[in-house]
Amino acid sequence: MPMGRLAAAILAATGAMAGPAAAAPKNGRITLPVIVDPATPDDGEPVEVAAQQLFGKQAAHVASLARLAAPVQLMIKKTPVTLAPADALAEYRGYLGKETFALFCTARAAKPVAALLCLADRDGDGRFDQFWTGTAANPALAVPFPNIRFQSDIEPAAYQPIQPSEADAMAIGFVGSGGNVWTGKREFFVRVERPGASVLLFESRATGTAKNGPVDIALYDAIIHLVGDSRDAFRLKVAKPLGGGTYQLSVGYPTQTIWIAVPGG
């Protein structure tokens, strides 16, 4: 199936690029559970780090994987899609109101975003029985955008768990950007990467500047000690790394601050 048709069908069905979905029984949220290896705090002196350079890297991997016992035929707005036993389905976490449930998803390359195809075993009998769709920023590292949508119930499809391999490993760390030219504050984000792919998590955004002295910047439960910054580089150290364990990741949506001059203001 042409990737353009798949992308158009999923974007239309999910509405994931239009911002948070309106409350509806078939609209939910999604995160990717990632297990992060613990690291020791940096007791050394601050070092110079270039803007957009990943620092404070920690090893991480997906929580679990599953594989279908036989191909599953799916339909998205009259567009046929097949999931095969060769497709390794990574575990995600779905949210529907106050309810949470496991989803197992694979990403397909498409434009402008990757298509996320997800199956759920809602009755816990060891067979998938629901089909959901979403989107991800990169098919090779499928951290999701927040929205998912229920597509249909499906004929029960047997699956079995499989162990993550080295190919499923990733690194999680931090990056700093040039920041806001109006406020002078620099922007910092969590970024996830593996060879050939990286994803910036917009939802993790934090700001700060060392213009008036050292400052601590919180990214999730990590602390970055910033002692100096310029447009293209920073002097910093990771005073407290990510604590390790399971983190629920989502790309979020990019935001932009627009400054407007008000006459007489």
pLDDT digits (tens, 9 = 90+) for 84-107: 999 999 999 999 988 999 999 999
Please count the residues of the chain.
265
124: left (phi > 0), else alpha (psi -120 to 50), else beta?
Answer: left
What band does 203 get if pLDDT is binned at 50, 70 and 90? very high
Element (H, E) at 222: strand 222-229
Instruction: Give residue 230's pLDDT.
Output: 81
C-alpha to C-alpha distance for 126 and 249, rounded to whole angstroms: 25
**DSSP codes, 21-62:** PPS-TTEEEEEEEEEE-------S--EEEETT--EEEEEEEE
5-45 pLDDT per residue, tens: 555 555 555 544 444 433 345 889 999 999 999 998 888 89
Contact call for residues 130 and 153 (beta carbons, < 8 A):
yes
Angstrom distances, CA of residue 31 to CA of 92, 105, 148, 161? 6, 11, 10, 19
Q: Tell me the C-alpha distance between 172 and 55, whole Å.
A: 9
Instruction: Give the pLDDT score at 179.
Output: 65
pLDDT of residue 112: 81
Question: Strand, helix or coil at 77?
Answer: coil
Contact 34, 249 (CB under 8 A): yes
Query: Which range, 77-81, 177-181, 210-214, 227-231, has the best average confidence (pLDDT)?
Result: 210-214
- CB environment 231-240: b (16+ within 10 A), e (fewer): eeebbbbbbb
Report d(CA 74, CA 5) in Å as an integer.
14
* Mean confidence (pLDDT) of the chain: 86
CA–CA separation, 85 vs 105, rounded Å? 13
Report percent pLDDT > 90 for the chain. 65
In the chain, where the domains are located: 3-30+62-162, 33-61+166-249
**Residue 145: pLDDT over 50:** yes
Tens-place pLDDT, residues 212-265:
899 999 999 999 999 998 878 999 999 999 999 999 999 997 765 433 344 444
Question: What's the confidence (pLDDT) of residue 82?
Answer: 94
